[in-house]
Structure 1
Amino acid sequence: MTKLSVNINKIATLRNSRGGNVPDLLKVATAIQQFGAHGITVHPRPDERHIRYQDARDLTKVVFTEYNIEGNPQHNFIDLVLECMPTQVTLVPDAIGALTSNAGWDTVKHQSYLTEVIQEFQRKGIRTSIFVDADERMIEGAKAIGTDRIELYTESYAHEYGKGNFAAIAPFVTAAEKAAELELGLNAGHDLSLDNIKFFKDNIPNLLEVSIGHALITESLFLGLDNVVNMYLQKLK
């Protein structure tokens, strides 16, 4: 089945809104794994407005599934990843101050820099993934860089699916086929939800992993975290 990695940034946002340590990020991460999720994802940003760098370090003590750290590979981020040694690092080109990720890498323009960063992580045995749009040229660029996987940026699919435009899946199918042709592992994430995840999974070949945060945590307010994690697992079988 496609693996589910739960992004817990929103838990950190809730904690930070009142100070202190409620909810306890480590306890939530432990519970999510006990409920059946295959991994934990965090995306620390330079301003640490949700996940703090120390959170990423502390989570190494409790993550017993796959640990995925996302972010823009600036020097502090690279140092953090090499210190934490997660299962996977996902490189995302988010600008400082960006509300959320809003584009994939231009893997052609940034080929030299990304190649250098990817090689540094791979030398340490960390699986690498690059956040890209559903664009064959960018996927070919990712292959040239030497990454292990790509993560498809799925915001456009989710937006169009919500309007009933199921044809919006087409470029993602093409992108997945290109990734398979190039022997790149395939992940996906951004705005995937209980409403749209099954259609996406059923149509995308060789989908290894999805990373879901905002929707999953929001849905859990109504349905409970244990229930929602297992509802995703059923849809990803």
Structure 2
Amino acid sequence: MTALSVNVNKIAVLRNSRGGNDPDVVRAAMTCLRAGAHGITVHPRPDQRHIRAQDVYALSELTRQHGVEFNIEGNPFAPPRDGYPGLLPLCEQTRPAQVTLVPDSDGQLTSDHGFDFGRDAERLRPLIAELKAMGCRVSLFVDADNPQIGQAAVLGADRVELYTGPYAEAFLQGDASQSLALFADAARRAQAAGLGVNAGHDLSQANLARFLSEVPAVLEVSIGHALISEALYDGLEATVAGYLGAIAQAGMLDA
């Protein structure tokens, strides 16, 4: 079954807007785990707009205590600065189960494109090796229409995370069939190269089951914005349960 990793960045956004520690990111993550989530995802950025280094340390300890996956996302090329030690030093200190490398710039509102292997491959190769030497599984953020998805395996990555924003937009427009065919092909190409497949970005309770039923063998989805938004109406535990239900529904549709 596909694993659900809850991205708690938006909890930190709300906290940071007022200062202090309310809402408590660790308590929110604990609530998600209590509701059945399989892991926690964070994406610390150099500008510290949401998740900060101290959150990473605290959530690393929480996930270790609960025996669940901790997934840290980030740009490995972003240099350290005050309050942000850099992605690799954070990973060295916390040893997450998975590191998802994402090519986002400092000013980017959210991750909205995958790596260009023609440009980034040789810079990525030693960083992937360094992360794997720490015991981390490495996933690379990729676009579904990238013809070189298999290159991720050549660079030493274990998985790719398919950027699902275009699928979510197509679903919203009312016809996702062509987009789903593209994602299914991308997943098969990745799997043929020996890569595991994750997915994330703009997935929601409305569109998740169909995506998982038509894109083969997705190992994990990381979901934050939609899940936290829906939790404002229905509560965090009920919303996590809803996503787990959508994952189960996908399994029945696939059968």
Sort the TM-score into its range (normalised by shorter chain): over 0.9
Given candidates 145, 151, 157, the residue that maps to 2:167 is 157
Deviations 1:150-189 (A, max 9, x none): 0000000000111111222111000011011111000000
Cα distance in 1 between the residues matched to 2:147 and 2:153: 10
Q: Is the 8 A contact 1:136 1:178 kept in 2?
A: no
Determine the structure 2 residue equivalent to 1:86: 96
For residues 24-65 of structure 1, the C-alpha deviation after alignment (integer angstroms, 9 at most, x for no partner) is 111111111011000000000000010011110111221121
Q: Distance in 2 between matches of 1:21 and 1:136?
A: 41
Deviations for 1:123-154, whole angstroms, at most 9, x for unmatched residues? 11100000000035231221221100000000
Corresponding letter in the other structure for 2:217: N
Distance 1:157 1:16 in 2: 31
Aligned equivalents of 2:110, 2:20: Cα separation in 1: 24
Superposition pairs of residues 157-176 of structure 1, within 5 angstroms: 157-167=167-177, 168-176=179-187
1:61-116 deviation per Cα after TM superposition (whole angstroms, max 9, x unaligned) = 21121100000003511111111100100000000111101110012321111111
Paired with 1:29 and 1:161, the residues of 2 have a C-alpha distance of 29
SS at match of 1:98: coil
Match of 1:129 in 2: 139
CA distance in 2, matches of 1:136, 1:17: 37
Gaps (5+ residues) in structure 2? 80-85, 249-255
Does residue 21 (structure 1) correspond to residue 21 (structure 2)? The answer is: yes
Q: How does 1:193-212 map to 2 (within 5 A)?
A: 193-212=204-223
CA distance in 2, matches of 1:160, 1:192: 12
Q: Which amino acid aligns with 1:188?
A: A
Specify the alignment match of 1:66 in structure 2: 69
Contact 1:132 1:138 in 2 (8 A): no
Q: Normalising to structure 1: TM-score of the pair?
A: 0.98
Unaligned runs of 5+ in 1: none
**Residues in 2 aligned to 1:86 and 1:146: alpha-carbon distance in whole angstroms:** 17
Matching residue of 2:158: 148
Cα displacement string for residues 189-233 of structure 1 (whole angstroms, at most 9, x for unaligned residues): 000001100000000111000000000000111111111101111
Aligned-partner SS, 1:108: helix
Number of residues of Structure 1 aligned to a counterpart in Structure 2: 237
Structure 1 consecutive aligned stretches of length 4 or more whose deviation exceeds 4 Å? none
Distance in 1 (alpha carbons) for counterparts of 2:216 and 2:12: 33
Is the CA contact 1:105–1:138 (under 8 Å) kept in the aligned structure 2? Answer: no
RMSD of aligned C-alpha atoms?
A: 1.0
1:99 has 2:102 as partner: no
Give the match for residue 55 of structure 1.
55
Instruction: Tell me the residue number matched to 1:226.
Output: 237
